[in-house]
Amino acid sequence: MSLVLHLDEVGARHRHLAGGKGYALAVLQRHGIPVPPTLIVTTRAYEEFVAATGLRGRILLELRRKSFQEMRWEEIWDLALRLRHLFHTTPLPPDLAARLRQELAPHLPERSVVRSSAPGEDSRQTSFAGLHASFANVAGLEAVLEHLKLVWASLWSDAALLYRRELGLDVRKSAMAVLIQEMVVGDRSGVAFGQNPQDPAQAVVEAVYGLNQGLVDGTVEPDRWLLDRATGQILAYRTAPKGEVLLPGKEGVRLAELAPAQRQEPPLNEAEVLQIYRLVRRCEEIFGAPQDVEWTFKGGQLVALQSRPISTPPPEGEGDQRPWYLSLRRSFGNLKALRRKVEEELLPAMNREAEVLAAKPLKKLDEAALKEEVISRSRSYRRWKKVCWDDFIPLAHGVRLFGQIYNDAVKPRDPYEFLDLLGAAGMLALRRNRLLMEMAARVREQPELLEEVRRGQVRDPELQPLWRTFMEEFGDLACGSSTCGLSSETLASLLEEMAHRSIQAERFDPRKVEDLQGQFLSRFSGEKRVEMAQYLELARASYRLRDDDNLYLGKIAAQFLRALEEYRRRGGELRELPADVQELGGELTATPAKGPGAVGVTGLGRLKARQLIGQPASPGLARGSARVVLTADELFQFRAGEVLVCDALDPSMTLVVPLAAGIVERRGGMLIHGSIIAREYGIPCVTGVPRATRLIHTGDPLTVDGYLGIVILG
Amino acid sequence: MTDATEIHQILQELLQGQRLAVLATVAAEEPRRPYTNLIAFTATADLKEVLFATPRATRKFADLTATPHVSLLVDNRSHRETDFGEAAAVTVLGTASELLEPERERYQAIYLAKHPYLRDFVTAPTCALIRVRVEKYILVTRFQEVHEVVPAS
C-alpha cells in the first residue's frame, strides 16, 4: 500500500490519511490557488513505524507512569522530551525506510519544508497553533526521513499533551501525516486572518521580509494591517521596528541583517495587502469558515503555504495556566535579552533588597512601624515571587531549548546527558556545601572545635574564615519554606555528622564537561558552531540562575519571617495584620502534611505501598533507612546513609544532601533543585513520587532505583 | 499513584470480574518445584476468600493437601502492547482447604453464581471445592506500581 500521496490524488476519503493541512492544500490546489508542490507521507507510515518498532507500547508505558492530573507542567515537558528522544533514536525499520525512499525520491524537492499535518487539525477546535513541529530548508532524502520522525514525535509534544483532552490524544488511535513541501523562498511572507479574533468586523494581514518562520516563532516582528472584513478597505497600519530577516541557511534557517533600504519600507504595498485579503476571503469561501492563511510572495506570485480555520484555543477554565505555559516557549533572541535583564538587573536588585532588609534594626522600630515593616516585607516577597514567574521561570526555557538541540545533534543514550554539560558546580547551593565540607574536614582534624561552633564563637585560625564566610553568605539561608532556623547548635551537629562519616563529594569533573562540550560542538562548523556555543552559554546561565533565584527568594522570605517573628515576640496579634500577610506567614511556615502510610481500604483492610513509581532523576541504586524531612528539626536529625524523603527539596535543605544515600521527592521534574543537586553529587534520586511523604515513614527500609525511577519499600 | 478507593475498586473488578486465575502450588513430590494451573475461580463479596473447584485426583489437589500455602494470579491483560501501561494484576497469598458440608453448600452457590456452566463439574462426587483464606493481596498497576492489602481479620 502506498505511503505517499500527491496533492492531486487527495480526495475527501483521504482526509484522515493526509491530515488537516495536507487535505486543505489539496482542496486549494483544486480551486486553482497556487500552493507549493507537496508530497504527503500519510498517517499509515506513522502507524507502521510505531507498530513495527514497538514504540506504541513504549509511548503508552511513558504516558501511564503517572496520571496527568498529578503531573506538574515540568513533568509534562520531561515526558515530551523522553518521547521525542524515543522517536529520534529509534531507526526506521529497513523495509519502511526503503519504501519511503522509493516513493519520495523521484519527486523530492531539492529543499523541503517538513510540516506536521495532524488529522482533525482542520476542525475549528483543534487547529490552534504551536502544537506540532515544522522544519524549514531540509535538504536530501536522509535528512527528510530524520525530520519525518521529529514531526511524528511532535504528536506527543508538551503542548499537545497539555491539550490532550481537547485533541482526543490517544496512543491507540492518534496518528500524524507529514507534508514534504518544496521550500518556497519568498522575499516577503506572513499570515492573514479572514476574521480578526479581537474584532469580528475586521480582517488582519501580517507581513515580514524573508521567510515567515521568523514571524510564526516570534523572532521577527511583523508589520500589521487591519482591514474592513466586508470591503477590504485598510483601516489601520502598524509598522514594526525592522532590523532582521530570516533567510534560508546552508541547513535550516538563519537570522540576518535586513538591507538598510528595506528597514524603512513596509514589506507590502496596498495593492499587495488587498491581494492577500482576497486570497484569505477566497479560502474562506472554499472551506466555509474564516481562515488563517500562511502565504509568501515569490517573484511577484502569491503562494498559499497553508490554510486552516482560525484557531480558537479551548476556553480557559479558572486557573487554567496552559496559555501561560505555552507562552514560555521563547526564541533564542528573546531569551538572550531576558538573561541580561535577570542577570544584570533583577538578581542584583533582589540581593540588594535582601541586604537592605537584613541591615534594618527591627528592635529599634516602635510597634506601629514594625507592623508596617511586616506588611511591606510581605509585599516585597510577593513582588519578587511574581518576578520569578514572569522572568525567572521563562528563562529556564533556555535549558529546554538547549536540551533539544543537544539531543538532536548528539543522540545520546541518556536524554538528560546535556545536563552534565551545564555545570551545576557554579550554583550557590553547591558553594555553600563546599564551605560546609571544608569546615567538616577541619572538625575531623580537631573535634574539640565543634564546641566553638556550638557556642557561636569560632577562634580557630583555619576554621574561623570559613565559618565567617558561611554565616555571612548563607546564615539566613537555612530559612526556606518549612526549614527555618540554622542555630549554632544545629550547625555544630551537622558538622559533626559530616566529619564522622564518609560523604558524597561532587562528581563535577571539568575534563568530562570539556569532552562533552567538544563532542557537541564538533558536530557543527562555521557560523553554526558559533551559534551553538551561544546556545550552550545561554543554557548554562539559565540553569544557574534558575536555581540561584530560589536562594535569593529564600533570603527575602527570611527577612519577612524575621520581622514577623519580632512582631509576635512583642505580643503582636496575627489577626491584626492584613489577610494576605497572615496568609503568606502561614504559607511560609506551614509544614506539609504527613499522613498514615497504611491507608485503610473500606471494608477490606490495611493498605501499604510496596513499590512506587516516579521519574528517574539521577541514576544509581541506593538502599537505606528512610528519613522523612518536612521540618527543620527533621532536617537536622538527618544521619549519613539515610534516604532523604521530602515533599519538595528546596535549596535550604541541600545542606544534608551530601550525607544522603538516596533522595525521594514528591515534586517531579528534571530541572528542579533536587534532581540537579542529586545528579551533581551522583546520588540516586527518584522525583515525582506522588504522596511520597505520606506513604513512606522515617525508619522504613527503602531501595531507590535511580535507573528505573522506582522506590521499593521494605 | 493509585489511591485507596481506586485500589479497592481495581481489586473488586479483578476478583469479581475475571473468570480465570493462575494457581501456584508447591509440588507434593520431589523436586518440590512450583506448579501452576489455570483455574476458574470466584471470590466472596468481602474479598476475604477465593474459591475454586478441582477433582481430587489431580496433582494440584495433592499439592495443596501437602502444602496449603498457595498463591493465585488474577489479571486483566488483553495480550496487546497496551497491557504494559493499562493491565492490572493481583497476586493473592493465602491458605487453601477443602470445603466440607454443611459449609460447602453455601459456598457452592456463590461459586455457581459466577460459573453456572460448571454445575456438572462442581457437583460431581469426585470434585472438591477449595477455599483460599486470603492473607495478602499484592496489586500491580501501571507496570510497576505495587501496593499490598492485608484484609482485616
Q: Is the pLDDT of residue A315 over 70?
A: no
Q: Is the pLDDT of residue B114 over 90?
A: yes
pLDDT digits (tens, 9 = 90+) for A546-589: 777 777 888 888 889 889 989 988 988 888 999 999 989 888 87
- Residue indicated by cell numbers 483460599: B132
For residue A478, the model assigns a pLDDT of 45
Distance (Å, whole) CA A517 – CA A531:
14
| Contacts with A75 from chain B: Cβ below 8 Å | none
For residue A482, the model assigns a pLDDT of 37
For residue A505, the model assigns a pLDDT of 66
Asked if the C-beta of B6 comes within 8 angstroms of chain A's C-beta atoms, the answer is no
Q: Would strands A188-193 and A291-298 be described as parallel, antiparallel, or unpaired?
A: antiparallel
pLDDT digits (tens, 9 = 90+) for A41-92: 999 999 999 999 999 988 988 888 888 888 888 889 899 999 999 999 999 9
Q: Which amino acid is at A44?
A: R
Query: Cβ–Cβ contacts within 10 Å for residue A124, how many?
Result: 13
Asked if the C-beta of B77 comes within 8 angstroms of chain A's C-beta atoms, the answer is no
Distance (Å, whole) CA A659 – CA A109:
59
The full length of chain A comes to: 714
Would you place residue A483 in the very low, low, confident or very high pLDDT band (cuts 50, 70, 90)? Answer: very low
Given a contact cutoff of 8 angstroms between Cβ atoms, the answer to whether A137 and A111 are in contact is yes
Strand order in the sheet with A4-6: A4-6, A38-41, A177-182, A111-117, A134-139
- Residue indicated by cell numbers 486572518: A193
Mean pLDDT is highest, among A170-174, A193-197, A213-217, for A193-197
| Contacts with B9 from chain A: Cβ below 8 Å | none
- Mean pLDDT of the region A374-390: 92
Q: Which long-range contacts (CB under 8 A, 24 or more apart) does A517-526 make?
A: A517/A421, A519/A410, A520/A406, A520/A409, A520/A410, A520/A421, A523/A409, A523/A410, A524/A409
Query: Cβ–Cβ contacts within 10 Å for residue A646, how many?
Result: 24
| Contacts with B3 from chain A: Cβ below 8 Å | 599
For residue A396, the model assigns a pLDDT of 82
What residue in B sits closest to A711 (Cα-Cα)? B145
Q: Is the pLDDT of residue A184 over 80?
A: yes
Is pLDDT larger for residue A401 or for residue A31? A31
Distance from CA of A689 to the nearest CA of B (A): 8
pLDDT digits (tens, 9 = 90+) for A418-466: 988 887 667 777 888 888 889 999 999 999 999 999 888 899 999 999 9
Distance (Å, whole) CA B150 – CA B48:
9
pLDDT digits (tens, 9 = 90+) for A274-314: 999 999 999 999 999 999 999 999 988 999 999 988 876 66
Average pLDDT over all residues of chain A? 87
For residue A140, the model assigns a pLDDT of 93
Mark yes or no for CB contact B147/A608 under 8 Å.
yes
**Taking an 8 Å Cβ-Cβ cutoff, which residues of chain A contact chain B?**
54, 56-57, 60-61, 63-67, 70, 171-172, 599-613, 689-691, 708, 710
Average pLDDT over all residues of chain B? 93
Query: What percent of chain A has a predicted confidence (pLDDT) above 70?
Result: 92
- Three-state secondary structure along A454-476? HHCCCCCCCHHHHHHHHHHHHCC
Angle (CA) A644-A592-A582 rounded to 5° is 140
What residue in A sits closest to B8 (Cα-Cα)? A601
Mark yes or no for CB contact A66/B146 under 8 Å.
no
Residue of B78, B138, B148, B153 to mutate for A, most A C-beta atoms under 10 A: B148
Distance (Å, whole) CA A678 – CA A659:
11
- Mean pLDDT of the region A493-499: 87
SS3 A241: coil
Distance from CA of A397 to the nearest CA of B (A): 28
What residue in A sits closest to B84 (Cα-Cα)? A61
Query: Cβ–Cβ contacts within 10 Å for residue A97, how many?
Result: 16
| Contacts with A607 from chain B: Cβ below 8 Å | 4, 7, 147-149
Distance (Å, whole) CA A583 – CA A665:
25
For residue B105, the model assigns a pLDDT of 95
Given a contact cutoff of 8 angstroms between Cβ atoms, the answer to whether A246 and A254 are in contact is yes
pLDDT digits (tens, 9 = 90+) for B66-83: 999 999 999 999 888 777
Distance from CA of B57 to the nearest CA of A (A): 34
Is pLDDT larger for residue A148 or for residue A335? A148
Q: Is the pLDDT of residue A596 over 60?
A: no
Closest Cβ–Cβ partner in B1, B46, B149 for A607: B149
pLDDT digits (tens, 9 = 90+) for A656-695: 888 999 999 999 988 888 888 898 888 999 999 988 998 9
Asked if the C-beta of B152 comes within 8 angstroms of chain A's C-beta atoms, the answer is yes
pLDDT digits (tens, 9 = 90+) for B15-43: 999 999 999 999 999 999 999 999 999 99
Distance (Å, whole) CA A351 – CA A556:
8
- Mean pLDDT of the region A501-529: 80
Distance (Å, whole) CA A709 – CA A678:
13
Would you place residue A247 in the very low, low, confident or very high pLDDT band (cuts 50, 70, 90)? Answer: confident
For residue A424, the model assigns a pLDDT of 65
For residue B83, the model assigns a pLDDT of 78
Cα A224 to Cα A299, A308, A396, distances in angstroms: 22, 20, 31
| Contacts with A605 from chain B: Cβ below 8 Å | 149-152
Of the listed ranges A105-119, A237-251, A476-490, the least confidently predicted one is A476-490
Would you place residue A477 in the very low, low, confident or very high pLDDT band (cuts 50, 70, 90)? Answer: very low
Q: Would strands A621-629 and A643-646 be described as parallel, antiparallel, or unpaired?
A: parallel
- Residue indicated by cell numbers 485579503: A277
ipTM over cut 0.95:
no
Take residue A671 and report the three cell numbers written for it: 530541572
| Contacts with A689 from chain B: Cβ below 8 Å | 1
Query: What percent of chain B has a predicted confidence (pLDDT) above 90?
Result: 82
**What is the full DSSP assignment across A52-92?**
HTSHHHHHHHHHHTS-GGG--HHHHHHHHHHHHHHHHHSPP
Q: Is the pLDDT of residue A480 over 50?
A: no
Distance from CA of A325 to the nearest CA of B (A): 24
For residue A486, the model assigns a pLDDT of 66
Angle (CA) A188-A261-A224 rounded to 5° is 45
For residue B132, the model assigns a pLDDT of 98
User: pTM value?
Assistant: 0.83
For residue B80, the model assigns a pLDDT of 81
Mark yes or no for CB contact B7/A601 under 8 Å.
yes
Is pLDDT larger for residue A327 or for residue A543? A543
For residue B2, the model assigns a pLDDT of 59
Give the HSE-up count for residue A290: Cα atoms under 13 Å, Cβ half-sphere: 18
Give the HSE-up count for residue A443: Cα atoms under 13 Å, Cβ half-sphere: 26
Print burial letters for A133-157: b (CB count within 10 Å at least 16), e (below 16).
bbbbbbbebebbbbbbbbbbbbbbb
Take residue B27 and report the three cell numbers written for it: 509440588
Residues 6+ apart with CB under 8 A from A83: A59, A62, A153, A156
Mark yes or no for CB contact A604/B146 under 8 Å.
no
In A563-614, DSSP assigns E strands to 605-613
Distance (Å, whole) CA B67 – CA B118:
26
Cα A187 to Cα A111, A208, A243, A279, A303, distances in angstroms: 16, 9, 15, 18, 12
Q: Dihedral of CA A505/A508/A511/A516: which sign?
A: positive
Distance from CA of A610 to the nearest CA of B (A): 5
Mark yes or no for CB contact A601/B81 under 8 Å.
no
- Residue indicated by cell numbers 498514615: A596
- Residue indicated by cell numbers 529497513: A94
